[in-house]
Amino acid sequence: MDGGERVQATGLYKTDIEFNLLDNELCRSLAVFPGYNKDSFIRAAWTRRSRGEAAKRPNRKSWSQRTDMYMRPFLLDVFFSKRFIHAKVMHRGTSKVISVASTNSKDLRYSLTSLVDNDACRVIGNLIAERCKDADVFAMSFEPKKNERIEGRLGIVLDTIRENGIMFV
């Protein structure tokens, strides 16, 4: 027999199975397992689980991901729109907002000349720092978004908060 011939095995569990002689030993052993798809059998052997069994913990987070919200509980979120600046500090475990400052608020909207310039960023930083101290929060974390640089208006807000005695962890 050359390697390209096909052999037909009959009479095994009342089914007919064909397999190629070029296949490896695992595929040759499929003659004793009628009704199995060769690809799924190999995939199950690779994952070391049966074909129908799901993964044990498909979406389990790592230890650092699970404990990060308790090690650094307070998170600063700063948003710049075309017209306003919004900043808030949240507790990551309970999702409660600790302090909020926005140039859209009534007390700041009419007192500032521009609601998006560098002076407005400094005012927002001062307000966030003051309100965090009132709530006994002296350390927080800031996670920049993807492709977000800590410079310009964002850098001014963060530097102002840092200058007012709040640590970034």
**Domains, in order of start, for the chain:** 6-47 (no CATH), 63-168 (3.30.420.100)
The pLDDT-based confidence of 59 (bands split at 50, 70, 90) is: confident
Tens-digit pLDDT profile for residues 87-102: 999 999 999 999 999 9
The pLDDT of residue 61 is: 84
Distance CA 125, CA 160 (A): 5
Distance CA 23, CA 13 (A): 22
The pLDDT-based confidence of 54 (bands split at 50, 70, 90) is: low
Asked if pLDDT for residue 10 goes beyond 90, the answer is no
The pLDDT of residue 13 is: 47
Average pLDDT of the segment spanning 129-146: 96
Structural contact between residues 28 and 44, judged by C-beta atoms closer than 8 angstroms: no
Is the pTM value of this prediction over 0.75? no
Residue 136 Rama label (left phi>0; alpha psi -120 to 50; beta): left
Tens-digit pLDDT profile for residues 11-41: 444 444 454 444 455 555 545 555 555 555 5
Q: Look at residues 86, 72, 84 and name the one whose alpha carbon lies nearest to residue 138.
A: 72
Average pLDDT of the segment spanning 53-79: 84
The pLDDT of residue 15 is: 46
The pLDDT of residue 69 is: 87
